[in-house]
Structure 1
Amino acid sequence: MELRIFQIDAFAERRFAGNPAAVVPLERWLPDATLQAIAAENNLAETAFFLREKGADGSDFHLRWFTPTVEVNLCGHATLASGHVISAHLEPGRTQMKFRSRGGLLGVERRGDLLALDFPIYRTEKTAMPAGIEKALGRKPAEMRAVHQWLAVYESEEEVANLEPDMAAIVALGKDGIIATAPGDRSDYVCRYFAPHAGIPEDPATGSAQCVTVPYWAERLGKTKLTGRQISARVGTFQCELKGERVDIAGRCVAYLEGRIHVD
């Protein structure tokens, strides 16, 4: 069997920036073991698989995401990349896409050279410092918050940039990884995201992490429109707007690779 594959740099201002995602359009679902094997072979943070399938929720596509080791419940950059593949390669000119997923009904809208996600938000609650947090990140945060992920809040961009995480210690803390965040020098906020439990030591540009950071910073800064930067080595850029219990997360995509893969 031969399948098309695309590799897209998402939330990227240029090629080789942002977060690379593989996107594989399907005509029918393959066995989960095959999907996981493809994702492991790609060895990217996420590989997205989708097929055209009308849903009762108004969706046009069914979308799933796999890291090299597990299937995940929500992924922003690979959803953005899937929207790019559809609107730029499969159905040029299409501007609206709705995906059924484990994370619910998700939208992607093309706005010129930007693509915007319509995602849920996750509001964190302040919590006590978990034992081991200083070992996990290499520096004690000013504040800890939690939802299904940890949110470690620091006082400066420099502190977040200089973190030296201990991946085993992060896994020991449980939850779906740690987002470290602080006020930005050239943006409203900055962040980094560590998810070693899912086979991703540090994710370069995480759309789903903005579902956590945006409601926190919107409340703290008293504004609903925010610019975020994920200060990994590749750097990701997000134009965000809080809209009630949803968040609009916009960024650019740059195509890197288009080809075919062979599956038995």
Structure 2
Amino acid sequence: MEQTIIQVDAFTDEPFRGNPAGVCVLSEPRDAEWMQQVAAEMNLSETAFLLRQDDGFQLSWFTPTVEVELCGHATLASAHVLWQEGHLAPDAEARFSTLSGLLTARRNGEWIELNFPADPTRPVDPPSVLAEALGVPIAAVEMGRFDYLVEVENELQVRDLKPNLALLQQIPARGIVVTSRANPEVDYDFVSRFFGPRVGVSEDPVTGSAHCALAPYWSQRLQRSTLLGYQASRRGGLVRVQLQGDRVILGGQAVTVFKGTLFA
């Protein structure tokens, strides 16, 4: 059976930047084993699978090795594909039924805004291998629903970080978010990187779901509810965040890179 698959670069307006995601709008249900095999074949940090329902779309996300409960950039890519390919009218809201509940997306000019659950973090004792794995001084360690959030002293430390991924893989969490305030001269407010070797993603280029924790963390410290984050991976990407109670509005752009056909 033939199945269209589209690759989208999310949280960027330029091809080959941001975070690439595969998107399959399924014509009929497929089982989890098939979706996992497709995700492994795509070998991207996430591949999204959508199936139309009466009230929107069922949405699932797979890394090359596991299904995950929440993914921001592949949701952004999915919404982009639904509008671009004519599955939704340009002014229609995208509604997704997921393992993290109902998620929605709207267009706002050239940007897409995702409505996600906020993920407030709490201070915790750092895992025993964390300091050795990162190799930089740690200012604070907190834990959210999925990830450890580690604040370091400055943006240069975030950008220059070369963690020991084998040690990070020992830490029982989806991933490790390393963050700091931005340098004063830049136009974004905070910077971050995301490492998830435990789920088959050594470094994720731009992680929307991590900003569900970064938004309340930096909103509290910077005393503003609307912020701009930059994820300083090799590809890089910007994420607008707005904290609204127990929700976070994640804003980003997206661009289609290619469209192909699966024959399996």
Give the TM interval when normalised to the shorter protein. over 0.9
Residue 224 of structure 2 corresponds to residue 228 of structure 1? no
State the alpha-carbon separation in 2 of the partners of residues 193 and 45 from structure 1: 11
Q: Which moved more, 1:187-196 or 1:24-33?
A: 24-33
Which residue, 169, 172, 175 being the options, matches 1:174?
A: 172
CA shift at 1:13, angstroms? 3.2
The one-letter amino acid paired with 1:20 is P
The one-letter amino acid paired with 1:210 is H
CA shift at 1:81, angstroms? 0.3
State the alpha-carbon separation in 1 of the partners of residues 137 and 103 from structure 2: 35
In the TM superposition, what whole-angstrom CA distance separates every residue of 1:76-131 from its partner, at most 9, and x where no partner exists?
A: 00000000000111335244111000011001111121001100011111122321
State the alpha-carbon separation in 2 of the partners of residues 45 and 221 from structure 1: 30
The one-letter amino acid paired with 2:52 is R
The one-letter amino acid paired with 1:163 is L
In structure 2, what is the equivalent of residue 140 of structure 1? 137
In structure 2, what is the equivalent of residue 104 of structure 1? 101
In structure 2, what is the equivalent of residue 218 of structure 1? 219
Which residue, 67, 71, 74 being the options, matches 2:70?
A: 74
In the TM superposition, what whole-angstrom CA distance separates every residue of 1:181-208 from its partner, at most 9, and x where no partner exists?
A: 0001221100000000111000000000
Residue 24 of structure 2 corresponds to residue 24 of structure 1? yes
In structure 1, what is the equivalent of residue 196 of structure 2? 195
In structure 1, what is the equivalent of residue 243 of structure 2? 242
Residue 154 of structure 2 corresponds to residue 151 of structure 1? no
CA contact (8 A) 2:173 2:198 kept: no
Aligned pairs for 1:38-49 (under 5 A) are: 38-49=38-49
Q: Secondary structure at the match of 2:138?
A: coil
> Normalising by structure 1, what TM-score?
0.95
Which residue, 86, 89, 98 being the options, matches 1:90?
A: 86
Identity of aligned residues (%): 40
Q: Secondary structure at the match of 2:241?
A: strand
In the TM superposition, what whole-angstrom CA distance separates every residue of 1:229-264 from its partner, at most 9, and x where no partner exists?
A: 00000001011100000000001001100121111x
CA shift at 1:172, angstroms? 1.0
CA contact (8 A) 2:7 2:256 kept: yes
CA contact (8 A) 1:95 1:111 kept: no
In structure 2, what is the equivalent of residue 8 of structure 1? 8
State the alpha-carbon separation in 1 of the partners of residues 213 and 98 from structure 2: 19
In structure 2, what is the equivalent of residue 257 of structure 1? 258
The one-letter amino acid paired with 2:237 is G
Q: Which moved more, 1:142-151 or 1:210-219?
A: 142-151
In structure 1, what is the equivalent of residue 207 of structure 2? 206
The one-letter amino acid paired with 2:108 is R
Which 5+ residue runs of structure 1 have no aligned equivalent? none
Q: Secondary structure at the match of 1:240?
A: strand
Q: Secondary structure at the match of 1:90?
A: coil
CA contact (8 A) 2:137 2:153 kept: no
CA contact (8 A) 1:153 1:180 kept: yes
In the TM superposition, what whole-angstrom CA distance separates every residue of 1:147-179 from its partner, at most 9, and x where no partner exists?
A: 231000012100111111111111112111100
In structure 1, what is the equivalent of residue 121 of structure 2? 124
